[in-house]
Amino acid sequence: GAGVSQSPSNKVTEKGKDVELRCDPISGHTALYWYRQRLGQGLEFLIYFQGNSAPDKSGLPSDRFSAERTGESVSTLTIQRTQQEDSAVYLCASSQQLGGEYGYTFGSGTRLTVV
């Protein structure tokens, strides 16, 4: 597609439930990133994938968070046993190469609300 597509755009879930967020990167982009933006706070890095290399998971806040990527295609971010502090906008981005000299292209995000 022309841009990075994320689904769902909005998700309301009950505390304790698992959620899965999806990201479709721009075709041909080898690098894919997940960030989180909590209300009143800046963007927090979560994880990135680059080609066949092992993902950098150093930003994942707890073991309830995991992410997968199929080849250089779709990625899913899974949050298990959601907590209220997980409420945030989850942003996915992709770039042609790691570091994105031409900038990362961000999706519109998934707004997650845990009630």
Partner 1 sequence: SQELEQSPQSLIVQEGKNLTINCTSSKTLYGLYWYKQKYGEGLIFLMMLQKGGEEKSHEKITAKLDEKKQQSSLHITASQPSHAGIYLCGAPPGGTSYGKLTFGQGTILTVHP
The site for partner 1 (CB under 8 A) is made up of 4, 31, 33, 41-43, 45, 48, 50, 56, 58-59, 91, 93, 98-109
> CB of 14: closest distance to partner 1 in angstroms?
24
Report the C-alpha gap between 8 and 88 in whole angstroms. 13
> CB of 20: closest distance to partner 1 in angstroms?
20
Say if CB 92 and CB 26 are below 8 A apart.
Answer: no
- Smaller CB separation from partner 1, 82 or 95: 95
Query: 18 vs 25, 29, 33, 51, 105, CA distance in Å?
Result: 23, 28, 21, 27, 27
> CB of 68: closest distance to partner 1 in angstroms?
17
- Smaller CB separation from partner 1, 90 or 114: 90
- Smaller CB separation from partner 1, 11 or 14: 11
> CB of 66: closest distance to partner 1 in angstroms?
17
Report the C-alpha gap between 18 and 31 in whole angstroms. 26
- Smaller CB separation from partner 1, 53 or 78: 53
